[in-house]
Structure 1
Amino acid sequence: MSNPPLDMAIYNESYDDYYSDIDDLSQLCHLEEAFAFGVILSSTLYLLALLFSIVGNSLVLWILVKHENLKLLTNIFILNLAASDLIFTFSLPFWASYHLAEWLFGEILCKTMTAIFLIGFYSGIIFITIMTVHRYFIIVKPLSTLKSKETRYGILVCVIIWGVSILASLPELLSTEVKPQNQGEHVTYICDHKSDFWRDVATYQQNVFFLISLAVAVYCYFHILKALLKSKTQVKKRTVKLIFTIVIVFLLSWAPYNIVIFMKSLKVVTFANCERIRHLNYAFYVCRKIAFSHCFLNPIFYAFVGVKFRRHLIKLCCSQF
């Protein structure tokens, strides 16, 4: 997932090397409608995602802290995942404003919002992967778990995950800057990578993280499902159902986006036809909005799949009315 700069800026920057003698590639391929579509869709859905994510993930944090046992690894990971979704969410108003105009917030906030965005993404994907692995050990290899040390291990694992997420965001953070871009007689400012090389590095790094998460999820749930076919424990099945739903929603949200950004990184080597480029840009806008909406989907599935969460939520609502 690339740094979320202005969509038109991404497109023009990506193809400058191939069309250096053309002032405006968007006019060449008549992409104005696609750009307008992306601006409207982005600004609207980012603000909706902001609202639903803050409300939903705040409820998750409140219920976990007030009603759940935070010494359990599963709850520790869910709490950190909700925090990760909130961190990701806090960057959305800046990107929504960016899509409507230009980058108005200076280079420090450009780098800061890029960092917040990326740390939220990387921590989210790692926490979901760790939750899957944890559930694998509990069900497939229960004798390997050390429950007396769960809290200590949980805190240590979370610290490591946040550290890895920060380190993973550094290359893209350091390669992001505010730079001017000519648009006719006007000069606008974009928050973007220094070069196509760094944009591609960021794309491939995010692809690798996603593919590793996908491989781990497939391996773990294959063995988990095999073990559950031999088990009659309903509690285990309910917990696995919740974690499985979270993982599947994450993968379905981010898989199309990772495919599209990889295809965009190939540039006109593969997509030299204007019609293909236009379709790819529409796909990019739609898939990115699906991916970004993930930050508020987890609380919804907690409510529908998580029995205890739904019970606490109903109790909270009844006490307010």
Structure 2
Amino acid sequence: MTNSNWADGVAAVTQCGIPPGQKFTYEFNTVGQMGTYWYRSHLSTQYTDGLLGPVVIHSPAEVIPEVDDERIIFMGDCILLNGENTYNCSVNSTIYPSTTGSCTGGSVYTTKVESRKRYRLRLINHSTLFSYWFSNDNHTESIVEMDGVEVEPIPFRGVLVNIGQRFSIIVQTNQTTGNYCMRASLPKSCFLPGIPYIGPELFNAGLDSAGYHALGVLSYDDTLGDALPSGVARNTSNPNGTAENPFNDQEWEGCVDMPFDIPKLAKAMEAFDISEGNTHYIQFNFAQVQHVSRVLVNQSTAISDGTYTVSRYDQNAL
């Protein structure tokens, strides 16, 4: 939240960690904010393991089109939708050898909806590793909120949700009564060459057994839960489809973000002070050596002994 960096949660950086058995009360203001957010631990991999949750700020000043109901949908590292998915446990792996023979495991996230209604789905990607393409078979979504900012409706068949991002989409339940697949699909073209998660070991260990996507069910009216889903799947790498992309026919595929000129603010916002005295110059670099990947900020990164290497930049050279 704004003006509360002192309680940002980064242990030993902006505040001390909360000791076991102790408590800490977070106080923050939400003036001028609305939309979809989330809270999580910043210590080690605690949020990867599930120490997280949604924060929704409602405001009478919202200009998002009216809906009949809403749902919160989390996408996570273990290829899950709201903590659920199914796996083929019989897939063998050099990392996790199969000892149980043929089996299946898990459950599918299912949400009941009524015909001829409008639903707001608040999408949150809490992964530490994966981005996802989210789509609903046979439905066209309209994006109306991006990271807490209201935008004019953008019609799409799928939306790329990067790590930590939040989107609100509106889905109209205007299809024939039945079950329809909700898909959170991994964009394979984002995977870097030489990284183990695109090699046969991890493919067989987890990604292959889950089919590279988490499936949920959008279940209309009184449709039985075990009824087979209707509808047609989108291209799991690019649900929008190049041939159906109205934006100058560019190939918006894989891990390419939405072009900056597409979202339009739904209402005017107070401008930020971008004078020279309030401007900071930040350069990001990505370095990959064999199976190790590092992101550097102004050529700074943590090394194994916990120290930091810092280099100064001439802002005119950036």
Q: TM range, normalised to the smaller chain?
A: under 0.3
Which has the larger helix fraction?
1
TM-score, reference length from structure 1: 0.26
TM-score, reference length from structure 2: 0.26
Which has the larger strand fraction?
2
Query: Bigger relative contact order, structure 1 or 2, given CA contacts below 8 A and separation 6+?
Result: 1
